[in-house]
Amino acid sequence: MEYDAIIIGAGSVGVPTALALSQGELKTLVIDSFPSVSQGDNKHAIGGIRATHTHKAKIKICQRSIKIFSSWQEKHGDDIWWSQGGYCFVVYTKKDEDVLKRTVQAQKTYGLNINYVNSEKIEEIIPGINSNGLLGGTYSPEDGNASPLLALHAFYRKSREHGAEYKFNETVIDILTKNNQIVGVKTNKATYSSRFVINAAGANARSIAKMVDLDVDVQSESHEAGITEPVKKFFNPMIVDIRPAQDPKFGNSKNYYFYQNNEGKIIFCLTPEPSIIGVDRRETSSFLPQITKRMINLIPRLKNIKVRRTWRGLYPMTPDGNPILGEIDNIKGFLLAVGMCGQGFMLGPAVGELLSRLVREKLRTQDKEILEDLSFNRDYSREEVLK
């Protein structure tokens, strides 16, 4: 029952981390209270994968993740529905235009392939978009999407081939330390020894951290999503509308975003205003009236497409909209991979590789910069603009 590393959480971050550790020939154990892999909020993710953030560390992480997603089928044979359709942030106000033009300038310095384009180009990229008041938008063609379930199960199978072990239907009840050094974990079924424990528990990350008397500022927000019937594909990118909307009847909202997947189904998600704090995953009756009104106004031809189902998931948020990664000062061997802010799926593969190098003491210069920027002790006042 001795392991080189124990990961708490078999989700968007825990599973690719197990893959990277096991590929590094470390004896790895993943513990999850659910009955199988991907049963937390990974199955609620809609599948967007972008490097178009405004924080350099997140950009570098997601650039690596995109390489992993985009080459997976060629390298391993699994079709994870990777599609490089890009991301398109549309602009209808001068304020948003100014914000996105500034972010594009910064993003280009970090090596991103992104441009601010005029309204004619947006109409070409998104056929049928409402041109009334359209000013333009950003387009990043190397971003894309994949199936969270197909991808995570592919990572899971590959990690098992490399020797990673999984314990499902098992709950961590204590993290064991000796002289401020991790020595293992205790579950409701057994005790396991290890010098490293990685907290990748998603919405439960805060309660796990408290087992070593650490308070991480991560709180869950509820977001709802939905999917339509399949229709003939007529647009490629993930479309993001960052305008807020006032709706006195069904509730206000911030941004919303949607794309058309490999089956032709349109998958969509909305950010509520104010944020809905908590762990309630029950869908509401107000979500569809909120988002469909906005989507149809943006692309009128969507009005006759039938919605198949909706669901609700959790975004574990940090104060600045960026994840918390790496070691902490007072407990040696306790690593954080928490607060992914709803972006765990796109961050997970590269985060897993980074944590593997940290455990194996093979950090690169860029790794050290990323870990410093996303450390537990950082200044949280620098907020991610496109969180």
The domains of the chain are located at 2-75+148-218+320-373, 87-143+219-317
Q: pLDDT grade, residue 293 (50/70/90)?
A: very high
Residue 217: C-alpha distances to residues 174, 203, 209, 220 (Å): 20, 12, 10, 10
pLDDT(386) > 90: no
213-242: pLDDT as tens digits: 999 999 999 999 999 999 999 999 999 999
Q: pLDDT grade, residue 385 (50/70/90)?
A: confident
Which has the closest alpha carbon to 352: 12, 3, 2? 12
Which has the closest alpha carbon to 186: 208, 165, 201? 208
Position 1 scores a pLDDT of: 84
37-73: pLDDT as tens digits: 999 999 999 999 999 999 999 999 999 999 999 999 9
Which has the closest alpha carbon to 289: 270, 308, 304, 313? 270
CATH of domain 2-75+148-218+320-373: 3.50.50.60
Over residues 78-85, the mean pLDDT reads 98
At position 63, the amino acid (one-letter code) is: Q
Position 382 scores a pLDDT of: 87
pLDDT(252) > 80: yes
Contacts of 35 (CB under 8 A, 6+ apart): 168, 169
DSSP class of 86 = -
Token pair for residue 1? 């029952």
How far apart (Å, rounded) are the C-alpha atoms in residues 260 and 358? Answer: 37
How far apart (Å, rounded) are the C-alpha atoms in residues 202 and 232? Answer: 35
Residue 209: C-alpha distances to residues 87, 319, 349 (Å): 35, 17, 22
Position 387 scores a pLDDT of: 75
Which has the closest alpha carbon to 12: 42, 52, 57? 42
At position 277, the amino acid (one-letter code) is: I
Contacts of 351 (CB under 8 A, 6+ apart): 13, 16, 17, 61, 323, 325, 337
Q: Are 175 and 205 in contact (CB under 8 A)?
A: no
pLDDT(255) > 90: yes
Domain 87-143+219-317: give its CATH superfamily.
Answer: D-Amino Acid Oxidase, subunit A, domain 2 (3.30.9.10)
How far apart (Å, rounded) are the C-alpha atoms in residues 265 and 259? Answer: 8
